[in-house]
């Protein structure tokens, strides 16, 4: 019997396009003898569309963007899409291949919980806490994880008195600093600032994507990442280092230029690896993660590590960091997907 896998992708998020790339890669990597793949496309407008059953590879991303002809309003459609005429027709598992808000943030996970369907990756709590950089950092601080200083604002606070906001950043954080939307990924809306003028622009930019923003101390450090895989007993991959050719690892460097170097494994000492390994597991557990995360660190010259963030649904094409890290650890892309499916099933069964 094939595993009936519902693949959810696209999404109402600034990371919609990234998700499409990932879906294409996952569909083509899955063993079609083992899996029956049911694509479910979420348009940028939030409409959900069920595509035709896939029994082989797909050529292009465009082929995954079904027309809105069949679409119903999302509230009506989302649950009905998962409803089966009889129990045997229901999905065995859902793979939410969604990045950013409305997908990586616990919303879709909550829907799947209500529908009592097993799904791949993090649950509601870890997804939502991991999506909001302020909440995530507060939890990390409580767990004693080392991180850079940060402050945060909501839009209305800034609109009321923007000068005080800038002054607070200058007093508590200083330059250079990074201004980020609290709930996003792929570096969308992020700016590095070296003076007041840039700070003002960065606030405006980040507030276009979120009602809440975070400002962090900029560190001069190497960027080293680890993949974490598992449920209650997670394991880490080897490390990978990102060496962007530009100021920082921005959206363009991630998805358009392709001349950012990924060095796997990163050239770090055994002590540094052990340090990062321990911190990554601690971060995973502090958010009560399950399935997977990619833990991103800053590593300074003198061997100090700061956690930057975890991503509860990291970039997942075969050329993305997370799958590459596991490949170098001995888990090939198709096996990685199967392992995630298994972990999703196990978590579901444990809760029953």
- The answer for residues whose C-beta is within 8 angstroms of residue 124's C-beta and 6 or more apart is 106, 109, 110, 113
- CA distance linking residue 309 with residue 306, whole number of Å: 9
Single out the residue of 22, 6, 24 nearest to residue 90, CA to CA.
Answer: 6
* CA angle 174–175–177, rounded 5-degree value: 95
Binders of ligand ATP among 275-334, rule CB under 6 A?
A: 296, 308-309, 311
Closer to Mg ion by CB, 216 or 309: give it. Answer: 309
Binds ligand ATP (CB under 6 A): choice among 9, 95, 249, 326: 249
| Window 96-125: contact mask with ligand ATP (x via CB under 6 A) | ------------------------------
Q: What secondary structure does DSSP assign to 231-260, as a single string?
A: SSS-EEEEEEEEE-SSSS--HHIIIII---
Which range, of 76-84, 154-162, 178-186, 276-284, touches Mg ion by CB under 5 A?
178-186
| Window 148-187: contact mask with ligand ATP (x via CB under 6 A) | x-----------------------------x-x---xxxx
- CA distance linking residue 110 with residue 248, whole number of Å: 34
223 binds, among ligand ATP, Mg ion, none (CB under 5 to 8 A by kind): ligand ATP
Closer to ligand ATP by CB, 92 or 128: give it. Answer: 128
Task: Please say whether the beta carbons of 262 and 222 come within 8 A.
Answer: no
**Binding status of residue 216 toward ligand ATP by CB under 6 A:** yes
Binds Mg ion (CB under 5 A): choice among 250, 272, 296, 338: 296
Closer to ligand ATP by CB, 48 or 312: give it. Answer: 312
- CA distance linking residue 183 with residue 98, whole number of Å: 14
Closer to ligand ATP by CB, 210 or 223: give it. Answer: 223
Q: Mind spelling out the 3-state secondary structure of 271-336? A: HHHHHHHHHHHHHHHHCCCCEEEEEEEEECCCCCEEEEEEECCCCCCCCCHHHHHHHHHCCCHHHH
> Rounded to the nearest whole angstrom, what is the least distance from the CB of residue 148 to ligand ATP in the complex?
5
Binders of ligand ATP among 36-95, rule CB under 6 A?
A: none
Question: Residues 297, 298, 303, 305: what is their CA dihedral angle, to the nearest 10 degrees?
Answer: -50
Closer to Mg ion by CB, 210 or 296: give it. Answer: 296
Which range, of 70-78, 113-121, 255-263, 289-297, touches Mg ion by CB under 5 A?
289-297
> Rounded to the nearest whole angstrom, what is the least distance from the CB of residue 104 to Mg ion in the complex?
7
| Window 297-316: contact mask with Mg ion (x via CB under 5 A) | ------------x-x-----
- CA distance linking residue 208 with residue 229, whole number of Å: 34
- Which positions touch Mg ion (CB under 5 A)? 185, 296, 309, 311
- Which positions touch ligand ATP (CB under 6 A)? 148, 178, 180, 184-187, 190, 216-219, 223, 248-249, 296, 308-309, 311
């Amino acid at each position: 019997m094939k595993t009936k896998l519902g693949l959810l992708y696209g999404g109402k998020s600034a990371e919609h396009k990234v998700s499409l790339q990932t879906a294409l890669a996952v569909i083509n990597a899955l063993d079609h003898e083992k899996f029956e793949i049911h694509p479910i496309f979420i348009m940028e407008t939030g409409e959900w569309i069920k595509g035709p059953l896939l029994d082989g590879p797909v050529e292009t991303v465009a082929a995954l963007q079904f027309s809105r002809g069949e679409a119903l309003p999302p509230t009506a459609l989302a649950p009905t899409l998962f409803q089966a005429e009889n129990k045997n027709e229901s999905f065995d598992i859902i793979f939410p291949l969604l990045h950013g808000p409305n997908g990586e943030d616990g919303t879709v996970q909550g829907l799947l919980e209500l529908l009592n369907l097993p799904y791949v990756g993090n649950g509601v709590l870890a997804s939502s806490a991991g999506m909001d950089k302020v909440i995530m950092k507060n939890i990390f601080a409580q767990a004693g994880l080392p991180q850079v200083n940060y402050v945060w604002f909501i839009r209305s606070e800034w609109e009321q008195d923007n000068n005080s906001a800038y002054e607070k950043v200058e007093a508590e954080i200083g330059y250079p600093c990074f201004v980020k939307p609290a709930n996003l990924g792929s570096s969308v809306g992020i700016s590095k600032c070296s003076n007041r003028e840039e700070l003002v622009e960065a606030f405006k930019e980040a507030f276009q994507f979120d009602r809440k923003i975070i400002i962090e101390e900029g560190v001069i450090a190497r960027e080293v990442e680890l993949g974490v895989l598992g449920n209650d007993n997670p394991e880490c991959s080897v490390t990978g280092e990102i060496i962007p050719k530009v100021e920082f690892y921005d959206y363009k460097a991630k998805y358009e230029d392709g001349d950012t170097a990924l060095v796997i494994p990163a050239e770090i000492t055994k002590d540094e690896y052990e340090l990062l390994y321990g911190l990554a597991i601690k971060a995973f557990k502090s958010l009560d993660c399950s399935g997977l995360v990619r833990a991103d660190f800053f590593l300074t010259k003198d061997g100090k590590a700061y956690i930057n963030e975890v991503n509860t649904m990291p970039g997942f094409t075969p050329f993305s960091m997370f799958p590459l890290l596991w490949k170098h650890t001995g888990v090939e892309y198709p096996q990685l997907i199967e392992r995630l499916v298994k972990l999703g099933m196990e978590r579901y069964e444990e809760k029953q």
